[in-house]
Structure 1
């Protein structure tokens, strides 16, 4: 039987788009979604649908369309994501709320809509895209890291709650993967003139684009690795892959003072000076 895969956040040049292409190569029936169908570009071999993961009606109609057409969903990949970059004392709160709304509640809403169909069949996989910063947060990306840590925690709970019904839940934790995310993150950065962090603004912008360096893992390489894991009968609970992924896993296990020492120097926090009593 042909596997049916539904993927969110499939904009051209991103991880979701790459995953679509890889699943198609494996002979799967793929439903690719994004807020705007045209943003998926020339993606071939997929059914392309408009979907806004922050709109419950959009979620319900999209999931129901897939069920009506093919009867079931074998794999849901919750990849749609929003950036959340900037100092915690400066970041626009509406932008912060949007990041959490998309990355956490949008993911949960999609999982709820699809899981009920999987439970009826007694099988299915829900793969939620977290991040290596879900293991270890960094300066200047606290909101994004918070949202991805929530994805990891949410998925761990979902896995336990769905296991009795034969449905699996797992985390995909990308490292630095070639995508549009660095550009999107950079575009959202706004450091006010009275910011405490104005003297290190170059580090804030560098953090926004940190995942898109010359050593970033190509999207197709990442997609091949992830799909290989997802198509196993029993995939791992966490699929962590890509440049910098080992480093951040190591940070997770190291004492806090080591992590903070390294990241503070890498991202310019050590260059800040106290202004108390000045």
Structure 2
């Protein structure tokens, strides 16, 4: 019994010494941490401020690039009449099929100032896109040279019903083939075949030029947004550090008193 009591007493003493030592270490670490708090906060304040300046400079460069490419897009729109059809471009137009033909011509309509969007139901009533300008809506169907055989009375009736459904003022059928215009079809249907495209539209080279510049503009727009977000983060972090510095100085002055 005595042996157990002695062992227990020794354990209590050992744990007391260890606990006291741990307490002293904790006090020492806390003191060091408090002593280093203000210098650490100052370091982070300078670090975040420096990073904010760097991101601000980057954001300005990206904004300047955006402005440069925005001006180039405007220049292409203003000088679109300069895009004349060359032999290779005519051959390229003639060979376009399916979605490539749809995308190229719909993008060209956008460059020309039309608002272009798909109907809520995909290819509803044979309508590929609805284009809008100055409040007027037009149903558009793109038919490549391989699909001309589908232009029958039933197909045209579907387009006409779609025009009424979406309250469009007319229908455009645009094809890179030669369209045989049918008597008795809705007079509000306007055909643009291969020859009409060459006559009324600028060369599709403008699509390539515009898309390239637009892509660069969007890339720099994305970089500018990401950089601006980083500036906002640094602003938040700087304010948080400044609040902590105020609190640290307040506690330090209280201890000094």
Q: State the TM-score bracket (shorter-chain normalisation).
A: under 0.3
Looking at both structures, which has the greater relative contact order when contacts are Cα pairs under 8 Å and sequence separation is at least 6? 2
Which has the larger Rg? 2
| Greater fraction helix | 2
Q: Given the two structures, how large is their TM-score scaled by the length of structure 1?
A: 0.19
